Amino acid sequence: MSVPFDPRPLLEPVSPATARAFRKHLAETGRLPGGTGAGLVIGIIVAVFALVVFGGVAAAIVGAFVVALGTQSGGGAAVAGATMVPLIVVVALGALIPLLVRRSRAAQAALWYRLDRFARANGMSFEPQRPDPPLPGMIFSQGSGRMASNLVRGDQPRFVEFANYRYTTGSGKHQQTHTWGYIAVHLSTPLPHIVLDALGNNGLFGSNLPVAFDRDQHLSLEGDFDRYFRLSCPRGYETDALYLFTPDIMARFVDNAAALDVEIVDDWLFFYGKRDFSTLDPATWSWLFGAVAAMIDKLAQWERWRDDRLAGTAAASVPPVAPDTAAVPSAGPAALPVVPPPGLLRPPPGVATPGRRLRTGVPWVAVVIILVVVTAGVIGPVIAFLGGILASTR
């Protein structure tokens, strides 16, 4: 049974006591992110220790300098007061850090409380964090430190999960954190690997997706669809993609999800965006719920799809059945020797190996731009050097 969309819990006030009680409830039920408490205590200790040590050193240096000046000028009381100021500042900051950390914990707990109430009000459930979520989408195999957060999920009429996602790439000063929001919709049958790269959210170097695919897997569709999405499907599955993306389904994607990248892989449908999805903004939730609702009643059409390439495999896997002469009426030599087994008139659910994954490629636009920049960086100084030589010989 569907539940009317109710965004009110996202904006309702939450008292600090309620937030603390909810955080305690999460810990008692095993839903609190692992290591959060210990990590926070260690962070406080390290911050206070660093502040006291470095602040004390700075205070000692300043104090020594002031004492030296005061000794020469004879201002003993002023010297004593001046040396106390840095120490007072250090002590005050040391006391302030735990207070700020506590306020941060309270704000995080209040956010979780609101999202939990929002999920319940809309017939769903909430989970604060899930490390390394076991999903087959392209973003879930990138980098390290993979973490899904603020997960809101439901299972009626089918499993749907809304969440934020982070992972990091590189190391040292080149380390970069990548921010995504995603919606995961579970399907009842596997489909070919298809990606819709939304053109409206691409950047200077082309697609914002973390994976590039071979250009010969691009399929152009009718109407205005190509103005909004670039569709990639495995070679040989063009007809299957046309079956899945009928004009009415293409219209729904354009009208409701033109700002989102889409991936169909195995028995999952993913929507991606380079921003947090699970927030306290009612407008964001209204948009995301609308995008899913626009597609969910069309998924039954997709789930009737079958891969004809598996028909021979299914027939070969069926053991021969000895004819039952009593059950099969005599109809001359053209009659079937056995009664066909039920359920084998169509291929079984699944995707043949060539359709399970798109072939990855190279982002040539980005490569060319990088080569141009590097070449300019090398040639520029050489030209300047040669120009200097020529100028000096005149």
Sequence ranges of the domains in the chain: 8-121, 127-302
> What pLDDT was estimated at residue 354?
96
Q: What is the pLDDT of residue 314?
A: 53
By percentage, how much of the chain surpasses pLDDT 70?
66
Better-scored residue on pLDDT, 388 or 38: 388
- On the question of pLDDT at 182 being above 70, the answer is yes
In this predicted structure, the answer to whether residue 196 has a pLDDT above a threshold of 60 is yes
pLDDT value of position 174: 92
Average pLDDT over residues 33-47: 52
Evaluate if residue 229 carries a pLDDT over 70. yes
pLDDT score, position 217: 98
Report the pLDDT averaged over residues 214-242.
96
Q: Which of 19-28, 35-44, 196-205, 295-304 has the lowest mean pLDDT?
A: 35-44
Q: What is the mean pLDDT of residues 353-378?
A: 66
* Mean pLDDT, range 326-353, rounded to an integer: 65
Lowest mean pLDDT among 12-16, 63-67, 385-389: 63-67
What is the percentage of the chain residues whose pLDDT exceeds 90? 58
Instruction: Categorize the per-residue pLDDT at 194 as very low, low, confident or very high, splitting at 50, 70 and 90.
Output: very high
Q: Residue 275 pLDDT > 80, yes or no?
A: yes
**Shortest CA distance to 240 belongs to which of 194, 273, 286?**
194
pLDDT over 70 (residue 238) = yes
Mean local confidence (pLDDT), 165-170:
97
- Which range has the top average pLDDT, 77-86, 330-339, 354-363? 354-363
- In this prediction, residue 205 carries a pLDDT of 83
371, pLDDT greater than 50: no
The pLDDT value given to residue 338? 63
Mind listing the pLDDT tens digit for each residue in 331-344?
445 556 666 555 55
- pLDDT band, residue 102 (cuts 50/70/90): confident
Residue 3, pLDDT score: 77
Question: Over the stretch 295-308, which tens digit does the pLDDT of each residue have?
Answer: 998 999 999 999 99
- Write down the mean pLDDT value for the chain: 82
Note the pLDDT of residue 112. 97
Q: CA nearest 189: which of 358, 310, 290, 289?
A: 310
Residues 183-187: what's their mean pLDDT? 98
Band of pLDDT at residue 373, cut at 50, 70 and 90: very low
pLDDT value, residue 343 = 52
